[in-house]
Amino acid sequence: MAEIVLATAVKPFGDAEIARLQLNALRSWRALGDEVEVLVVGDEPGAREAARQVGVGWAPHVERNAAGTPLVRSVFDAARAISTAPLVAYANADILLLDDFLPTASRVATHLPAFVIVAQRWDVRVAEEIAVAEGWTSALRRRVEAEGRLHPPAGSDVFVFPRDCYRDLPALAIGRAGWDNWMIYEARRRRWPVVDATRSMTVVHQEHDYRHLPGGASHHRHPESDENVRLAGGRRTILTLVDADWALGSEGLRRKGMIWRRLLREAELLPVLRTRSWLLANAAFAVFHPLQAARRVAGWLRWKTGSQAPVLGEELPR
């Protein structure tokens, strides 16, 4: 039986660069071995053929929002329906995973009954088809060390969690900003350890443009990202890897220490995670970030008076 079912939602394979990046990712996941069951979810053009070519599973049916974008909860549900694996993983379809993926997940699962594993990614320009052959992981690691840039902790591309976690999700859209931040928020709210595995799991992001989105603009400026933030509960629920409360590294699995910066952040998060009160959460934000709070109130006032449009994704006072 597989230990992990790793699911993804792909883009159409019609664009040559997108197809190459996605096939590279799928091949790297298939190389993880039979203990990782890989599943492509959705009936985008070329998805079935790509899954067959690489030798992974394919589930055509996926729930979508009004814009036709797959929903996160549907991808998770498809993974659980197809596989009996005790762990579920999601990775964006441009991510390369190496041979430290399964050992990392197994180490955490041995010690914790409920959790979510996240990690910062390494951004690398990959302009060729990756040949998954003997020694390919060592070669890629050397390339990451020489050329890679560690991405800021604001976005997460890989999640691993027990199959009974994340069964009740809002209608969050994949590939748009906000949903990955909600994953961290929800785990912290439910008191599941959020394990930062950056030092033990290599996550390689193949850099690309945003040609698949209207105007080629980043997904952060997309209306569906704004909707994700709204469904997640507002701007205060946008947590990042900085808010992970556990870490896995050479010294093992441990709780993160409460240095003063982290202590202040935890104090700021307390109303968000324990009371779910919009009023208290925003009051805490104003206390810890007075200048940002003042700018947002000023922007809201300009919007109310008709002198300025609201900023996409910005939470306005209710």
Residue 170, judged by CB atoms within 10 A of its CB (0-12, 13-18, 19+), counts as: middle
Q: What is the band of 255 on the pLDDT scale with cuts at 50, 70, 90?
A: very high
* DSSP labels, 194-229: EEE-TTT--EEEE----TTSGGG--GGGSHHHHHHH
- Burial pattern 62-92, b for ≥16 Cβ within 10 A else e, equals beebeeebbbbbbbbbbbbebbebebbbbbb
Please give the pLDDT value at position 316: 31
Least confident of 12-16, 79-83, 257-261, 293-297: 293-297
Residue 253 pLDDT > 80: yes
Closest CA to 237 of 170, 152, 312, 150: 170
Residue 315 has what pLDDT? 41
Taking the C-alpha atoms of residue 299 and residue 304, their distance in angstroms, rounded to an integer, is 9
**Helix locations, 56-178, DSSP H:** 72-82, 101-111, 136-147
Contact 41, 75 (CB under 8 A): yes
**Res. 93 pLDDT band, cuts 50 70 90:** very high
Nearest CA to 180 out of 140, 217, 135, 229 is that of 229
Q: Give CA 117 to chain center in angstroms.
A: 10
Residue 11 pLDDT level (bands cut at 50, 70, 90): very high
pLDDT bin (cut points 50, 70, 90) of residue 307 is: low
Mean pLDDT (whole number) for 76-103: 98
Across the range 263-287, mean pLDDT stands at 85
Beta bridge pairs of residue 258: none
**Regarding predicted confidence, which is higher, 96 or 299?**
96
pLDDT at 300: 65
pLDDT tens string 44-60? 999 999 999 999 999 99
Q: What is the mean pLDDT of residues 18-33?
A: 97
H/E element holding 150? strand 149-150
List pLDDT tens digits, range 193-232. 999 999 999 999 999 766 545 555 454 557 899 999 999 9
Q: Which domains does the chain have, with CATH numbers?
A: 4-249 (3.90.550), 257-304 (no CATH)
What residue has token string 């990202």?
225
